[in-house]
Structure 1
Amino acid sequence: MRVMGVDPGLTRCGLSVIESGKGRQVIALDVDVVRTPAGHPLAHRLLAISDAVDHWLDTHRPDVIAIERVFSNQNANTAMGTAQAGGVIALAAARRDIDVHFHTPSEVKAAVTGNGRADKAQVTEMVTRILALQQKPTPADAADALALAICHCWRAPMLGRMAAAEEMAAEQRRKYQATLKAKAKAAQMSRSTR
């Protein structure tokens, strides 16, 4: 599975692509950070991110995109910009019929380091080790984008099993409800014929 990991942001937007192998094997294919000047109009900044993401999607053809879920504990302007950048990326994926999954920072940290409260240095160190990189990815947005892709590769099988189990449970619930309705109808007909 080829996963594009995205650490969304207006000033710095981390992009990565990794390929998953057997088990937990993952290979980094590319990583970069798209930068937009803070003084430029918002629409131009979003367009620059959109253009870069379009290029990445066309070049790398990922099977899925993993985007960091925005949290409101940031200041409102930062959260808004991050959400807008993430929305532009999700839209680009939707136009290509590519699945998009959102992961919280704590999910990513837990997947990569084993600790949902790990700091950026710990995440960067583990990303470097997991991907057997010669040097640490910089800036942190690049490491975070790689961590998101790794997280999704490792969580995807579980997410798939959970979705299948939920579908099976829903089907069983539908069958059970149909059986109850049939029994109720039969009981009502039995009472009315007496």
Structure 2
Amino acid sequence: MASLRVLGIDPGLTRCGVGVVDVARDRSARLVHVGVVRSSPDAPIAERLAAIAAGIRAVIDEHGPHVVAVERVFAQQNRNTVMGTAQASGIALLMAAERGLPAAMHTPTEVKAAVTGYGAADKRQVQEMVARILRLDALPQPADAADALALALCHGWRGGASEGVAQAETPALRAWREAERRTARPVRGRAPRVAP
């Protein structure tokens, strides 16, 4: 495979960023597609999820990525935002599975570190570096679109430019897994008895 075509998805219920890049073995990258799939905040949740699914499906069908990279949902203050992001993330993973594509998840810190060299970079820094890496004349807008391109670049560089699908166990991912393990609540008490 001369280059890996990665679809990056920055999940969101109102705006879901999508970006497709070709990443070569020498880490050079080329923009294929960038955009945002939108759903109306006034629509019922089922219709909003269907709109996100249709938009992602259209991008997959048109651009034929080899792999899908999705931002891993992390806890935020706003529970509604987390729920919408998690639902859109599930749709993105479903669309990948529906088309038989491998999917990987990367934390925001991993993505920022891969693209800017700094895990706490702000959105403007990510946009600027994505534009520089892809040799764009303007910053990708909105930020959701830039984040999707950054996800695609992160996966192409960290996981798969050689084989296309392996997800590297980065320090950020190890820290994430450890945090998930620490917050898992053990089941207390005895298991319920089952009548014979």
TM-score of Structure 1 vs Structure 2, range by shorter chain: 0.7 to 0.9
Aligned to 1:27: 30
How many angstroms apart in 1 are the aligned matches of 2:91 and 2:77? 20
How many angstroms apart in 2 are the aligned matches of 1:12 and 1:28? 20
Of the three residues 10, 13, 16, the one matched with 1:7 is 10
Give 3-state SS (helix, strand or coil) of 2:127's partner. Answer: helix
How many angstroms apart in 2 are the aligned matches of 1:161 and 1:119? 24
Aligned residues: 163
CA-based RMSD: 1.6
Q: CA deviation at 1:97?
A: 1.2
Aligned to 1:118: 121
Give 3-state SS (helix, strand or coil) of 2:27's partner. Answer: coil
The sequence identity of aligned pairs, in percent, is: 53
More displaced 10-residue stretch of structure 1: 113-122 or 65-74: 65-74
Q: Is there any run of 5+ residues in structure 1 with no aligned partner, and where?
A: 164-194
Q: CA deviation at 1:2?
A: 0.4
Which residue identity lines up with residue 84 of structure 1 in the other structure?
Answer: Q
If you compute each CA radius of gyration, which structure gives the higher value, 1 or 2? 1
Structure-2-length-normalised TM-score: 0.80
> Is it true that 1:16 corresponds to 2:19 in the alignment?
yes
Runs of 4+ more than 2 Å apart: 157-163
Q: CA deviation at 1:162?
A: 5.6
Q: Is there any run of 5+ residues in structure 2 with no aligned partner, and where?
A: 170-196
Q: CA deviation at 1:40?
A: 1.0
Structure-1-length-normalised TM-score: 0.80
Give 3-state SS (helix, strand or coil) of 2:92's partner. Answer: helix
How many angstroms apart in 2 are the aligned matches of 1:128 and 1:114? 15
How many angstroms apart in 2 are the aligned matches of 1:138 and 1:67? 18
Listed as ranges, the matches of 1:71-90 within 5 Å are: 71-90=74-93
| Deviation digits for residues 3-31 of structure 1 (CA, Å, limit 9, x no counterpart) | 00000000100001000113110101000
Give 3-state SS (helix, strand or coil) of 1:40's partner. Answer: coil
How many angstroms apart in 2 are the aligned matches of 1:67 and 1:112? 15
